[in-house]
Amino acid sequence: MNWGKSIVVAFVLFAGLVATMVTICVRQDVSLVTPNYYEQDLAYQKQIDRMTLTGTLERKPVISVEAGSLIAVQYDDFPKVQSGVLVLFRPSDASLDRRFRISPETSSVQYFKADSLPGGLYRARMTWTMEGQEYYLEQELKL
């Protein structure tokens, strides 16, 4: 075999390797934190304002896991809450995210069932409106 054929074989093998790597990379699932990532990035100042307001609260909500898969949100000011959402965000798999509605109640604790979710690390993101102001709290949970 002469040098010309060796160079052609090396080039064909290299091209095959590149084609294989491109195919593998294209088939890889790359899920962003949210589908509309760029719009949320532009509106992040509003999120900073919510976090700042939450920092000024004397009593903040406490989110915990009870009995393995029961999520408890304890907050003494639930009667003042006008509306709210609790999002369980799974960083490793967006299909496991769950949303729960927070409603104004006289009780200081609200419970949410998460028994259909597999165990692992979640981020609990709570957004609520109280007395015309929006608040935001984020906390890590392990189910």
- pLDDT attached to residue 33: 65
Q: Provide CB contacts within 8 A for 122, sequence distance 6+.
A: 88, 89, 90, 140, 141, 142, 143
The Cα 84–Cα 126 span in angstroms is 7
- pLDDT attached to residue 58: 92
- pLDDT attached to residue 29: 76
- pLDDT attached to residue 114: 86
pTM over 0.75: no
Digit-coded pLDDT (tens) for 2-61 = 888 999 999 999 999 999 999 999 898 776 666 777 787 778 888 899 999 999 999 999
Percent of the chain predicted with pLDDT > 70: 97
Q: Which of 63, 68, 80 is nearest to 137 (CA)?
A: 63
Residue 127 has pLDDT above 90, yes or no: yes
The Cα 66–Cα 13 span in angstroms is 57
Q: Which of 116, 123, 132, 114 is nearest to 53 (CA)?
A: 132
The mean pLDDT of 90-107, rounded to a whole number, is: 87
CB 74 within 8 A of CB 112: no
Q: Where are the domains of the chain?
A: 1-30, 37-142
Helices (H) and strands (E) in the chain, counts: 3, 7
A 10 A CB-CB count for 102 gives: 21
Digit-coded pLDDT (tens) for 66-82 = 887 899 999 988 888 99
Q: Is 37-142 in CATH node 2.60.40.10?
A: yes
The Cα-based distances of 18 to 10, 11, 77, 106 in angstroms read 12, 11, 59, 63
Q: What is the mean pLDDT of the chain?
A: 89
